[in-house]
Amino acid sequence: MQIQIGQATLELVEGDITQQDTEAIVNAANPSLLGGGGVDGAIHRAGGPAILEECRKLGGCATGDAKITTGGRLRARYVIHAVGPVYRREGPTKAAQLLASAYRRSLEVATEHGVKSIAFPSISTGAYGYPMEEAAPIALQTVINFLEHQQDGIQLVRFVLYGQRAYAIYVQALQRIMAQRTVAN
């Protein structure tokens, strides 16, 4: 599924974040930035040790923030390590704010580095326990708001959903957002 927001394209695909050819891919990291399972493990395995070597120099990353390293052996030039909230620890309201911040900071860091295309996983919806039906509209609305207000920065934001169920949830969330925008305009 693909939509246009200003000069930018927002697209949803089903696939593996480590295989994406965007300039940057976003990692669903933890505050240590020293690796883990899920997306984190896949990115470090595919990208190689150069990524962790740079992560070690970053001094960690706060929840809701994002930091950038080389993409190592990945097709992507950069990995932007974003730390999402642990849903049960933060509770729904704070978790929503921190999740939105993780996406926004990733886009800000990408823009600071002149990145024109970026791929996101569904941050916090795995080990961090964020219900995907709640996370998807927050993630999509945050990205849409950013793309609507940026000055000729990012041209492509791709959500890379792992499996058919995740993809379907994001498609439904995006369709609902677009329907509301149509009514609003």
> Which residues are at the interface with ligand APR (CB under 6 A)?
16-18, 28-30, 36-42, 84, 121-128, 160, 162, 166
Q: In this structure, which amino acid lies at residue 165?
A: R
Tell the smallest beta-carbon distance from residue 161 to ligand APR (Å): 7
Tell the smallest beta-carbon distance from residue 75 to ligand APR (Å): 13
Q: Which residue is nearest to ligand APR (CB)?
A: 36
Closer by beta carbon to ligand APR, 18 or else 22: 18
Q: Which residues contact 91 (CB under 8 A, 6 or more apart)?
A: none
Q: Mapped to the 3 state alphabet, what secondary structure does 45-72 carry?
A: HHHCHHHHHHHHCCCCCCCCCEEEEECC
Tell the smallest beta-carbon distance from residue 115 to ligand APR (Å): 19
Closer by beta carbon to ligand APR, 37 or else 181: 37
The DSSP-derived string for 69-124 is EE-TTSSSSEEEEEE---HHHHHHHHHHHHHHHHHHHHHHHHHHTT--EEEE--TT
Closer by beta carbon to ligand APR, 130 or else 146: 130
Closer by beta carbon to ligand APR, 37 or else 92: 37
